[in-house]
Amino acid sequence: MPGNPGKLNDAHTGAGGLPHLTGELFKSSAGVDIVGVPYKSGGESVTAVLGAQVHMTFEGMTILLPLIRQGKLRALAVTSKTAHAACSGPADMIESGVADYVVTTFNGVVAAGGYPGEHRQL
């Protein structure tokens, strides 16, 4: 990759989103030049990979795992500190040679501020 700058590209969900920043961290940590291509959603990003419009994407396991299990996508590595339990095979990025590379996320459930009913403050 270093000998072919800009030859690879990755789909992401727009500037500043987690898939974009995950890819940017990879580029910086691995010292490679990959061109980011923005899409409107994770679904569109994955569809672009499936259609060979882009080479790769950094997306959540929720959207990727069914396609990995069906053999439609190939998992190259996971960005968490350890391999994902539901997806045997791919190593984490550190094991794959990208030192100190860890990206994890969490999701929350929200409703509009005026939503009726009891709710718990976090």
Q: What is the pLDDT along the chain (122 residues), one digit of tens a residue?
A: 456 677 899 999 999 998 999 999 999 999 999 999 999 999 999 999 999 999 999 998 888 889 988 999 998 888 887 765 666 667 777 778 888 888 887 666 667 677 776 655 55
Whether residue 19 is contained in a domain is answered as yes
Contacts of 29 (CB under 8 A, 6+ apart): 93, 98, 99, 100, 101
CATH number at residue 31: 3.40.190.10
Asked, for residue 34, whether it belongs to a domain, the answer is: yes
- The answer to whether position 97 is within a domain reads no
Domain assignment of residue 29, yes or no: yes
Domain residues for the domain of 13 are: 8-69
Is 79 within the bounds of a domain? no
Q: Looking at the 3D structure of the chain, how many domains does it have? A: 1
pLDDT at 84 (0 to 100) = 59
Confirm whether 92 is domain-assigned: no
In a domain, 88, yes or no: no
DSSP labels, 16-49: TSHHHHHHHHHHHHHT--EEEEE-SSHHHHHHHH
